[in-house]
Amino acid sequence: QVWLHESGPGLVKPSQTLSLTCTVSGDSINSDDYYWSWIRQHPGKGLEWIGYIYSSGSTYYNPSLESRLTISLDTSKNQFSLRLSSVTAADTAVYYCARDSSDGYSFGLDYWGQGTLVTVSS
Partner 1 sequence: DIQMTQSPSSLSASVGDTVTITCRASQDIRNDLGWYQQTPGKAPKRLIYSAFSLQSGVPARFSGGRSGTDFTLTISSLQPDDFATYYCLQHNAYPRTFGQGTRVEFK
Positions that interact with partner 1 (CB under 8 A): 37, 46-49, 51-52, 60, 62-63, 96, 100, 106-110, 112-115
Closest C-alpha to 38, from 52, 25, 26? 52
Least CB distance to partner 1 at residue 89 (A): 21
Output 7 or 49, the one with its CB closest to partner 1: 49
Output 89 or 117, the one with its CB closest to partner 1: 117
Output 16 or 31, the one with its CB closest to partner 1: 31
Closest C-alpha to 102, from 45, 5, 37, 50? 37
Count Cβ atoms within 10 A of the Cβ of residue 104 and give its class: 0-12 exposed, 13-18 middle, 19 or more buried.
exposed
Q: How far apart are the first and last CA of the chain?
A: 39
Least CB distance to partner 1 at residue 72 (A): 18
Backbone angles phi, psi at 89, to 5 degrees: -60, -25
Output 8 or 115, the one with its CB closest to partner 1: 115
Least CB distance to partner 1 at residue 23 (A): 15
Least CB distance to partner 1 at residue 63 (A): 7
d(CA 26, CA 67): 32
